Structures are given as structure tokens and as C-alpha cells.
């Protein structure tokens, strides 16, 4: 009987289980086990970790996480066709792999764990941002996240003020988490190859948000400011404040700036101003 180190190639597993990639499920598989091992390595020491893997597919990253010594892996997969392939892996996992057939967007993740988990996944590009926002805004205790995104989305998450990629996603995620770009993965590494390449990010929730603010107000001011990012703040913030210039002056931000020049501290100050005048 095979063990974790003598498993058949992933491509053979996918073929044997008829796992032809399905576009509507965002399926672009990784079969290169050296690359998968590198990705798992960015998760750090997993020996005491409960990993929740979202979208394991035929199980490439799952194998790598188990080989990296993860104490426990819960693999959550929407495509029932992948479950049989994953069950084979479960049999050689020494009881460390549990498979759940389900949709991450409808699953109560906190119920799956008894300790803050490591969340890992090569997510389908079409739901990756939604999954990330749900995770970071849920307040669910999470140890760290090792997630793959379309490269351009990865840039937006990690972007700094002043860059073209800097926007709402950068502010909201970095307010709550530290973000590190670990690796870029070329499109040709996937089967089938998508049109764009990908980035692996390590995203670690902060103990407390970077600056005080209410999330609803931070959402409102960033939505207004970046919704019309080519306009100056005096013009774009009309959707969030009755008198944008007064609000900007109250927090010491020049009204002739554009949103991309305002750092997270500035947006949090604006959010506090918003909350004072428009309590939720
Ligand atoms: N991790 C595998 C790999 O690297 O080869 C597969 C990655 S593939 C980009 C995304 C996986 O997520 C697919 O297996 C797909 O079926 C699964 N998936 C898609 N939507 C999902 C959802 N809403 N909930 C859970 N899994 C989902």
C-alpha cells in the first residue's frame, strides 16, 4: 500500500478519477509537486496546526501540507468528483485528513475547528476576494492564511499608498492583517493554464486593528473615495459626508488629494469622523 511518499503522480490521480477541469468551479489544478511543496513551506511550522484547506481539488496542496507535517487537515471541496481522489489520500494520512464536501461560502468555518486554524488554498479566482473579505471581517480567530490569488488581486491586497493597485481591498485587509507576498506562480504551472498568473500571499490577522475605526464607516469612506478614484477627495467623498471638505479638514487631510494618496491611518481618521456624524 502506498504511503504519503509513494503516491502516484497527481496527473494520474486526476485522470483515473475523471477530473477534467470544470471552468464554472474555477478549476485550474497544480500538479508540480516541487512547487506545491514550496507553497506549503510558506505556511511555516504546521506540526501543531489545524489547516482548513479550501478547494483541494485532486489534492496536490493537500499532499504537500500533510508531508509538511500538518497535525490535522480539513479539506473543504465543492466538487463531489474530487472526493474519491481525496479519500485515497485520507487513507494514507494517518488519520490527519478529513474531507468535507461543501461550499466555502455557505460553510460555518468556526464550527470546523477547536483552535485558530491555518487557512490554506489555491482558491478559484472568481470567489477568492469574497472568501478573503468574509474571513477577515468575520472576526473568526485565525492563526494565518496561505492563499493564492490572481496576480493582479494579490498586488491590490498588498499595495501601498501611492501605487496604482492601492484601493479599498488594500485598506480593509491591511487594517486587519499583515500581508506578505510569498511567491508568484506563472499561468503555465496550472492545468489548464488560466489567462493570468497567480500570487501566493501569507495573510496574518492582527491582534487588534491597526488604528481604531468602525468597520461600517471604514467601508463607507473607502467605497466613496475609491469608487471615484480619479476625483479629488473633496468631490469623491460626497457619498459619505454632507460636507466632505469640513470632514477632511477636521482630520488634517488635504481636500485636493486623491484617495490613492491617503494611508490607512488617514482612512481610519475619516471613518471615525464618519461614525461621529452618521452613527450606525
Ligand atoms: N487546490 C487544487 C490545486 O491546487 O490543484 C485545486 C485548485 S482550483 C483553482 C480551485 C478548487 O476549488 C477546485 O477544486 C474547485 O472545485 C474548488 N471550489 C470552487 N468553488 C468552491 C467553493 N465555493 N467552495 C469550495 N471549493 C470550491
pLDDT digits (tens, 9 = 90+) for 126-181: 999 999 999 998 889 999 999 999 999 999 999 999 999 999 999 999 999 999 99
| C-alpha cell of residue 117 | 486554524
Percent of the chain residues past pLDDT 90, beyond the cut: 94
Return the C-alpha cell found at 90.
485520507
Architecture of the 10-205 domain: 3-Layer(aba) Sandwich (3.40)
Ligand 1 contacts CB of residue 55 (under 6 A): yes
Q: How far apart are CA 124 and CA 27, in angstroms?
A: 6
Q: Which long-range contacts (CB under 8 A, 24 or more apart) does 189-193 make?
A: 189/30, 189/32, 189/35, 190/28, 190/29, 190/30, 191/11, 191/21, 191/28, 191/29, 191/30, 191/31, 192/21, 192/28, 193/28
pTM of the full structure: 0.95
| Predicted pLDDT at 139 | 86
For 215-276, which CATH class?
A: mainly alpha
pLDDT band at 95 (very low <50, low <70, confident <90, very high): very high
The closest residue, in CA terms, to atom 12 on ligand 1 is 55
**239 with 223: CB under 8 angstroms?**
yes
For residue 1, what pLDDT is reported? 61
Is the confidence at residue 119, as pLDDT, over 60? yes
pLDDT confidence of residue 132: 96
- pLDDT per position as a tens digit, 15-29: 999 999 999 999 999
Hey, how many other C-beta atoms are within 10 angstroms of the C-beta on 104?
A: 22
Given ligand 1 and candidates 9, 13, 22, 26, which is best to mutate, with the most ligand atoms within 8 Å of its CB? 26
Closest atom of ligand 1 relative to the 107 alpha carbon: 24
Q: How confident is the model at residue 183 (pLDDT cuts 50, 70, 90)?
A: very high
pLDDT in tens, 38-47: 999 999 999 9
The backbone torsions φ and ψ at residue 18, rounded to the nearest 5 degrees and listed phi first, read: 65, 35
| Total residue length of the chain | 280
Nearest to 90 by CA among 194, 193, 175, 13: 13
Q: Whose CA is nearest to atom 24 of ligand 1?
A: 103
The closest residue, in CA terms, to atom 17 on ligand 1 is: 55
Q: Whose CA is nearest to atom 20 of ligand 1?
A: 25
Q: What are the cell numbers at 2?
A: 502506498
Among the listed residues 142, 153, 159, 163, the one whose alpha carbon sits nearest the alpha carbon of residue 184: 153
So what's the pLDDT on residue 277? 83
- How many Å apart are CA 177 and CA 139, to the nearest integer? 11
What does each C-alpha distance from 137 to 29, 147, 157, 218 come to in angstroms? 28, 16, 14, 12
What is the pLDDT of the chain when averaged over all its residues?
A: 95
Domain boundaries, the chain: 10-205, 215-276
Tens digit of pLDDT for each residue in 47-88? 999 999 999 999 999 999 999 999 999 999 999 999 999 999
Amino acid at each position: 500500500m502506498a504511503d504519503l511518499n509513494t503516491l502516484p503522480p497527481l496527473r494520474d490521480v486526476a485522470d483515473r478519477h475523471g477530473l477534467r477541469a470544470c471552468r464554472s468551479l474555477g478549476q485550474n489544478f497544480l500538479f508540480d509537486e516541487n512547487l506545491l511543496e514550496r507553497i506549503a513551506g510558506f505556511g511555516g511550522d504546521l506540526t501543531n496546526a489545524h489547516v482548513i484547506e479550501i478547494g483541494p481539488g485532486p489534492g496536490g496542496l493537500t499532499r504537500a501540507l500533510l508531508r509538511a507535517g500538518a497535525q490535522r487537515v480539513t479539506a473543504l471541496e465543492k466538487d463531489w468528483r474530487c472526493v474519491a481522489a481525496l479519500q485515497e489520500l485520507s487513507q494514507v494520512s494517518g488519520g490527519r485528513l478529513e474531507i468535507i464536501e461543501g461550499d466555502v461560502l455557505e460553510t460555518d468555518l468556526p464550527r470546523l475547528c477547536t483552535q485558530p486554524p491555518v487557512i490554506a488554498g489555491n482558491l478559484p479566482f472568481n470567489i477568492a476576494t469574497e472568501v478573503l473579505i468574509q474571513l477577515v471581517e468575520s472576526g473568526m480567530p485565525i492563526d494565518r492564511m496561505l492563499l493564492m490569488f490572481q496576480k493582479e488581486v494579490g498586488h491590490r491586497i498588498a499595495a501601498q499608498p501611492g501605487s496604482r493597485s492601492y484601493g479599498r481591498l488594500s485598506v480593509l485587509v491591511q487594517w486587519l492583517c499583515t500581508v506578505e507576498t510569498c511567491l508568484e506562480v506563472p499561468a503555465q504551472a496550472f492545468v489548464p493554464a488560466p489567462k493570468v498568473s497567480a500570487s501566493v500571499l501569507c495573510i496574518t490577522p492582527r491582534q487588534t486593528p491597526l488604528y481604531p475605526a468602525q468597520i461600517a464607516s471604514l467601508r463607507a469612506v473607502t467605497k466613496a473615495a475609491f469608487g471615484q478614484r480619479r476625483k479629488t477627495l473633496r468631490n469623491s467623498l460626497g457619498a459619505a459626508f454632507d460636507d466632505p471638505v469640513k470632514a477632511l479638514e477636521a482630520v488634517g487631510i488635504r481636500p485636493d488629494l486623491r484617495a490613492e494618496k491617503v494611508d490607512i491611518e488617514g482612512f481610519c481618521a475619516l471613518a471615525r469622523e464618519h461614525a461621529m456624524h452618521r452613527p450606525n
